[in-house]
């Protein structure tokens, strides 16, 4: 894994010291060189989920302003592939943010995904390849 993409959960955990995964997110992200790549759907989800934290949405946007998180996925040019992913994983179900991150990993084989979402153990790149993920150890 040369480049890293970040999902909503770790962003929220990083910004919320009361989050159960705050320590994991902080320690994990300290080891990764910026920028962290993502999509606008992740940014939107994160802003919504931290809306009740003082300065929450602005803290998410500040990460973008500082260039630490870069939303560099273009949904318009990948819409057909995204629709196929969402349809294929409709029973999971797959969110738009998840579909964008999976598609980003399909387009860039050096991209690993930092996530808290166990569904990324189900999703496959190009339908058959396991995704490179960084997530807390499973407790099951």
DSSP character at residue 90: T
> Backbone phi, then psi, for 126, in 5-degree steps?
55, 30
Q: Summarize the confidence of residues 60-66 as an average pLDDT.
A: 98
Q: Is the dihedral of CA 82, 86, 87, 89 positive or negative?
A: positive
At 63, the pLDDT band (50, 70, 90 cuts) reads very high
Reported as a single tens digit per residue, the pLDDT across 120-139 is 999 999 989 999 999 998 65
Query: What are the boundaries of each domain within the chain?
Result: 3-134
Instruction: Provide the CATH topology of domain 3-134.
Output: Rossmann fold (3.40.50)
Q: Summarize the confidence of residues 112-127 as an average pLDDT.
A: 95
Q: What pLDDT score was predicted for residue 139?
A: 54
Q: Give the chain's mean pLDDT.
A: 95
Indicate the SS3 state at residue 130: strand
Instruction: Provide the token pair at 76.
Output: 């318009």
* pTM for the structure as a whole: 0.94
């Amino acid at each position: 894994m040369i480049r890293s993409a970040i999902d909503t959960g770790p962003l929220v955990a990083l910004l919320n010291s009361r989050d159960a995964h705050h320590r994991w997110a902080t320690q994990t992200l300290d080891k990764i060189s910026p920028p962290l790549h993502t999509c606008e759907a992740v940014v939107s989800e994160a802003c919504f989920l931290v809306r009740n934290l003082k300065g929450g949405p602005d803290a998410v946007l500040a990460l973008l302003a500082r260039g630490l998180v870069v939303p560099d996925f273009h949904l318009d040019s990948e819409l057909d592939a995204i629709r196929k992913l969402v349809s294929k994983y409709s029973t999971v179900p797959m969110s738009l943010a998840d579909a964008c991150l999976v598609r980003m990993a399909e387009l860039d084989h050096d991209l690993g995904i930092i996530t808290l979402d166990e569904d990324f153990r189900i999703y496959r790149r190009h339908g058959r390849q396991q995704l490179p993920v960084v997530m807390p150890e499973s407790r099951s």
